[in-house]
Structure 1
Amino acid sequence: MTGLPRWRDLDPLRVFRTSRFSYQRVPNGSPFDFQQYRWPSPGRLSEKWRFWSRMSTTRLICFAIASVVFLSLLVGGGYHTAINQKGKDVDGRLPWQHYYRLDGYYNGVRTLVPHSKWEPDNKYNQSIPPTQQDQQEELQLGKEPPLNVVKYNPYPNFASEEYRKDHQPVQECFLDDGQDVRVPDVYAYPGLPQHMVDPFFGSYKTLGLADDVCFERFGRLGPYGYGYNVREGGIGIGNVSERAGSEQVFAQTGYVNYTNVDWGSAQKQCFEKNKARFSVEQPEGKKRVQRHAYVLRTWTGYQYSEYQILSLRAMIAELALKSGGEYDVHFLVHVKNNSIPIWASQAVYKETLQKNVPREFWNISTLWSELQMVNYYPEPFPDNFANMAGAGIHGVYRSAHFPLQWFSQQHPEYDFIWNWEMDVRYSGHYWEFNNKVGEWAKKQPRKGLWERGRRYYIPHIHGDWANFTSFVERETQEKDIATNDIERSGPVPVWGAVRDFANSGMLPPFNATLPPHSYDSDNYQWGVGEDADLIVFNPLFDPSLTNWVFSWDVTGYNRSLPVPPRRAAIITVARLSKRLLQIMHDETWAQRHTMFAEMWPPSVCFHHGLKAVYAPHPVYFDRDWELEHMNQVFNYPKEIWDSPFGWGEHNLLGSSFYYNSGFSGALWRRWLGQAENHEGGRRWEEERTGRMCLRATLHHPIKTENGPVDPPEEGKAS
Structure 2
Amino acid sequence: MARLSQLNPRKLFIRTRLHSYEKLPTVDSQSSSPIFNGPLKSWKTRLPWLERWRRPRMSLSRVIMLMLTLLFLGSMFGTALYRRHRSDDEKRKQGGSKKELYQWEHYPRLTGYWNGVRNLVPSSEWVSEQESVQSIQNNSSKKPVKSKEPPLDPIPFNPYPDYSSEAYLKEHEKVEPCYLDEEGKIGLPDVYAYPGIPQNMTAPFFGSYEELGMDPNVCFERFGRLGPYGYSYSRDEGGLELSSQSETSGVDKIWNHEKKIDYRNVQWGNAQKACYEKNKARFDKNATAESGKKKVPRHAYILRTWTGYKYSDYQILSLRAMINELALKSGGEYDVHFLIHVKDDSIPIWSSDAVYQQTIHDNLPKEFWGMATLWSEQQMRTYYPEPWPNNVDNPANAPVNSVYRSAHFALQWFGQVHPEYDFYWNWEMDLRLSGHYYEFNNRIGEWAKDQPRKGLWERSSRYYIPQLHGSWKNFTDMVQAEIFNSDEKPVWGPPQFDNTGMLEPPAEAFPNNTYAQDNYVWGVGEEADLITFNPIFDPAKTNWVFRNDITGYDTELPEPPRRSAIITVSRLSKRLVDIMHRETYHMKHHAFTEMWPPTIALHHGLKAVYAPHAIYLNHNWPLEQLDNTFNRPSLPTESVFGWGEHNQLGTTFYYNAAFSANLWRRWLGAKEAHEGGAEFEEKGSGRLCIRPILFHPVKFEKGAGEGD
Query: What TM-score comes out, normalization by structure 1 length?
Result: 0.83
Q: Deviations over 1:476-507 (max 9, x none)?
A: 11115xxxxxxxxxx62110001x22221211
Give the C-alpha shift of residue 122 in structure 1. Answer: 1.2
Question: 2:199 maps to what in 1?
Answer: 194
Question: 1:234 maps to what in 2?
Answer: 239
Contact 2:306 2:341 in 1 (8 A): yes
Larger RCO: 1 or 2 (CA < 8 Å, sep 6+): 1
Q: Deviations over 1:403-458 (max 9, x none)?
A: 00000101111000000000000000000111100000000011101011101111
Residue 493 (str. 1) matches residue 498 (str. 2): no
Question: 2:522 maps to what in 1?
Answer: 526
Question: 2:408 maps to what in 1?
Answer: 401
Give the C-alpha shift of residue 578 in structure 1. Answer: 0.2
Question: 1:108 maps to what in 2?
Answer: 116
CA distance in structure 2 between the partners assigned to 1:507 and 1:124 by the alignment: 55
CA distance in structure 1 between the partners assigned to 2:103 and 2:227 by the alignment: 41
Task: Summarize the alignment of residues 647-658 of structure 1 with structure 2, pairs less than 5 Å apart.
Answer: 647-658=643-654
CA distance in structure 2 between the partners assigned to 1:709 and 1:624 by the alignment: 30
Question: 1:558 maps to what in 2?
Answer: 554
Question: 1:516 maps to what in 2?
Answer: 512
Question: 2:215 maps to what in 1?
Answer: 210
Residue 608 (str. 1) matches residue 604 (str. 2): yes
Q: Partner amino acid for 1:525?
A: V
Task: Summarize the alignment of residues 312-391 of structure 1 with structure 2, pairs less than 5 Å apart.
Answer: 312-391=319-398
Residue 259 (str. 1) matches residue 264 (str. 2): yes
Contact 1:665 1:700 in 2 (8 A): yes
> Secondary structure of the residue that 2:346 maps to in structure 1?
coil
CA distance in structure 2 between the partners assigned to 1:562 and 1:492 by the alignment: 18
Residue 245 (str. 1) matches residue 242 (str. 2): no
Task: Summarize the alignment of residues 109-124 of structure 1 with structure 2, pairs less than 5 Å apart.
Answer: 109-123=117-131
> Secondary structure of the residue that 2:566 maps to in structure 1?
coil
Give the C-alpha shift of residue 127 in structure 1. Answer: 8.3
Q: Partner amino acid for 1:647?
A: W
Deviating runs (4+, > 4 A) in structure 1? 33-36, 123-130
> Secondary structure of the residue that 2:156 maps to in structure 1?
strand
Q: Deviations over 1:463-488 (max 9, x none)?
A: 111111111111111115xxxxxxxx
Give the C-alpha shift of residue 508 in structure 1. Answer: 1.0
Task: Summarize the alignment of residues 614-653 of structure 1 with structure 2, pairs less than 5 Å apart.
Answer: 614-653=610-649
Over the residues paired in the alignment, what is the CA RMSD in angstroms? 2.0
Contact 1:233 1:258 in 2 (8 A): yes
CA distance in structure 2 between the partners assigned to 1:181 and 1:227 by the alignment: 19
Q: Partner amino acid for 2:605?
A: G
Structure 1 residues 129 and 245: CA distance shift in structure 2, 3 A? farther
Equivalent pairs counted in the alignment come to: 612
Residue 310 (str. 1) matches residue 306 (str. 2): no
Q: Partner amino acid for 1:180?
A: K
Give the C-alpha shift of residue 284 in structure 1. Answer: 4.2
Q: Partner amino acid for 1:204?
A: Y
Q: 1:440 aligns with which of 442, 447, 456?
A: 447
> Secondary structure of the residue that 2:609 maps to in structure 1?
strand
Give the C-alpha shift of residue 139 in structure 1. Answer: 3.6
Q: 1:149 aligns with which of 154, 170, 179?
A: 154
Question: 2:5 maps to what in 1?
Answer: none
Q: Deviations over 1:584-642 (max 9, x none)?
A: 00000001111011000000000000000000011000011100010010111011111
Give the C-alpha shift of residue 128 in structure 1. Answer: 7.8
Q: Deviations over 1:28-76 (max 9, x none)?
A: xx9xx9999xxxxxxxxxxxxxxxxxxxxxxxxxxxxxxxxxxxxxxxx
CA distance in structure 2 between the partners assigned to 1:94 and 1:574 by the alignment: 30
Residue 286 (str. 1) matches residue 282 (str. 2): no
Gaps of 5+ in 2: 1-91
Give the C-alpha shift of residue 646 in structure 1. Answer: 0.5
Question: 1:67 maps to what in 2?
Answer: none
Structure 1 residues 535 and 245: CA distance shift in structure 2, 3 A? same
CA distance in structure 1 between the partners assigned to 2:524 and 2:660 by the alignment: 34
Q: Partner amino acid for 1:461?
A: L
Residue 416 (str. 1) matches residue 412 (str. 2): no
Q: Deviations over 1:145-188 (max 9, x none)?
A: 11100010000100010100000000000000111100100000
Structure 1 residues 656 and 128: CA distance shift in structure 2, 3 A? farther
Give the C-alpha shift of residue 140 in structure 1. Answer: 3.8
Structure 1 residues 623 and 343: CA distance shift in structure 2, 3 A? same
Q: Deviations over 1:272-312 (max 9, x none)?
A: 00000001021343100000000000000000000000000
Question: 1:98 maps to what in 2?
Answer: 106
Question: 2:678 maps to what in 1?
Answer: 682
Q: Partner amino acid for 2:456?
A: L
Residue 470 (str. 1) matches residue 477 (str. 2): yes
> Secondary structure of the residue that 1:402 maps to in structure 2?
helix
Contact 1:666 1:676 in 2 (8 A): yes
CA distance in structure 2 between the partners assigned to 1:129 and 1:569 by the alignment: 39
CA distance in structure 1 between the partners assigned to 2:117 and 2:621 by the alignment: 26
Residue 185 (str. 1) matches residue 182 (str. 2): no
Q: Partner amino acid for 1:662?
A: A
> Secondary structure of the residue that 1:253 maps to in structure 2?
coil
Contact 1:188 1:214 in 2 (8 A): yes
CA distance in structure 1 between the partners assigned to 2:387 and 2:325 by the alignment: 43
Give the C-alpha shift of residue 460 in structure 1. Answer: 1.3
Aligned-pair identity in percent equals 58
Q: 1:543 aligns with which of 518, 539, 542?
A: 539
Q: Partner amino acid for 1:243?
A: T
Query: What TM-score comes out, normalization by structure 2 length?
Result: 0.84
Contact 1:680 1:711 in 2 (8 A): no
Question: 1:221 maps to what in 2?
Answer: 226
Q: Partner amino acid for 2:491?
A: V
Q: Partner amino acid for 1:96?
A: W
Gaps of 5+ in 1: 1-29, 37-90, 481-490, 713-718
Give the C-alpha shift of residue 379 in structure 1. Answer: 0.6
CA distance in structure 2 between the partners assigned to 1:284 and 1:269 by the alignment: 23
Contact 2:223 2:232 in 1 (8 A): yes
Question: 1:506 maps to what in 2?
Answer: 502
Question: 2:593 maps to what in 1?
Answer: 597
Q: Partner amino acid for 2:477?
A: S
> Secondary structure of the residue that 1:564 maps to in structure 2?
coil
CA distance in structure 1 between the partners assigned to 2:417 and 2:107 by the alignment: 50
Give the C-alpha shift of residue 236 in structure 1. Answer: 2.0
CA distance in structure 2 between the partners assigned to 1:124 and 1:496 by the alignment: 45
CA distance in structure 2 between the partners assigned to 1:241 and 1:501 by the alignment: 60
Q: Bigger CA drift: 304-313 or 247-256?
A: 247-256
Contact 1:124 1:627 in 2 (8 A): no
